[in-house]
Amino acid sequence: MKRLLLVALLLFKWMTYAQTNLIKNGGFEAELSYWRGNDIATISPYDKKTGKNGCTINQYVGEQWKGIDQIIPLPKNTIALELSGWVKSDGVEKGKNEWNTGKFDIEFLSSGEKGIQNESIAAVVGTTPWTFYQKRVYVPDGASKLRIMLALGQTNGTLFFDDIKAIPITQEQLNKFQEEENTKRMAAIEPSKESKVTLFTNGDFENGNTAWRGNASTSNTVTKEGKAALMIQSSTFDWNGIDQIADVPEKATTITISGWLKSEKIQQGKDTWNNGLLNVAFAGNDNQKTGDDQNISFVTGTTDWTFYTKTFPLPSGTKKYRIMVALGFATGTLYADAINVTFN
């Protein structure tokens, strides 16, 4: 439940940044205006998710490719898109090819409308109720247009679509999102009572998620030491991470953070920090940042267990530190184990 709430909050936060839907008539309230192939689909006032209308595509025999599409220019500085929509299906047959499904696809195009990259937002078979699909996709180099496709991919059945959206996201928005997320988490630290010092614990993940905040699980099969290691997996370019806040001992002048990281097929986002990462942040008694976040390591691709360590001078006024392990707007799997913090 907690986890669901966090996801909901993050989504809500996300949606407040960008509202512009690039797709024209994505809710089909203007029937099939702006969509190409409008002799293929029909408009129904009964099978809809919102408003007055929804879109229906069906065929009973023939297994033809049946679809409608729309090509839209991407606004400048769009680095990612949040694609979403409601899809329902009735008796969609699964053929022998991967594309023989009900489809909500996108294709990035060059300015001359040459195909650059395809992505599937939803692939549905059988009979399914109205379901909300959502995916964040990075804009590949050279793309200046986007094609939205809603189709029966050479298969029979009936598909229903409504509220199709493509929301552009800029690097600035992505950075701002992360910064606000950091600030919010820092602010959530409870003021520590003078006599009580919070120590960094469970860096070896032998006690599961104890002492860590956030959305992650542990692996009992892939470990560096002991019986468990942290495992963070993501198939979307979201922020997926955990963190832990502890007190800096009095008179400490430097902090050394070390740990073992392992990566599996981590695909970097647009920036170098859009990766598997081990970071530290510093704050004073008032929870205000006392210095820049520091990185112990970024990992990408597939790497075996590797030991990373770094020592940083503690910024003046630092009373607390926050250790973060995350897949920051990257996809793949990150493992971490035996994270340790020492002071001098």
| Site residues, Ca ion (CB under 5 A) | 27-28, 48, 50-51, 53, 162, 204-205, 225-226, 337
The C-alpha torsion from 277 through 172 and 108 to 110, rounded to 10°, is -120
Tell me how many helices (H) and strands (E) the chain has: 2, 19
**Residue 53 CB, nearest approach to Ca ion (Å):** 5
CB count within 10 Å of CB 3 equals 10
For residue 60, give the DSSP letter.
S
Structure tokens at 120: 């599937």
**Residue 325 CB, nearest approach to Ca ion (Å):** 13
With respect to Ca ion, which residue has the nearer C-beta, 25 or 236? 25
Q: How far apart are CA 321 and CA 302, in angstroms?
A: 29
Residues 255, 278, 178, 244, CA torsion sign: negative
**Residue 222 CB, nearest approach to Ca ion (Å):** 10
With respect to Ca ion, which residue has the nearer C-beta, 110 or 306? 306
Q: How many residues does the chain have?
A: 344
With respect to Ca ion, which residue has the nearer C-beta, 44 or 120? 44
CB 160 within 8 A of CB 47: yes
With respect to Ca ion, which residue has the nearer C-beta, 268 or 297? 297
* 3-class secondary-structure state, position 177: helix
Q: Quote the crossing angle between the two packed helices 2-17 and 171-187, to the nearest 10°.
A: 140
With respect to Ca ion, which residue has the nearer C-beta, 51 or 140? 51
With respect to Ca ion, which residue has the nearer C-beta, 230 or 277? 230
**Residue 208 CB, nearest approach to Ca ion (Å):** 11
**Residue 310 CB, nearest approach to Ca ion (Å):** 20
CB 110 within 8 A of CB 169: no
**Residue 317 CB, nearest approach to Ca ion (Å):** 33
**Residue 171 CB, nearest approach to Ca ion (Å):** 32
Strand partners, 246: 321
Q: How far apart are CA 342 and CA 223, in angstroms?
A: 22
With respect to Ca ion, which residue has the nearer C-beta, 163 or 238? 163
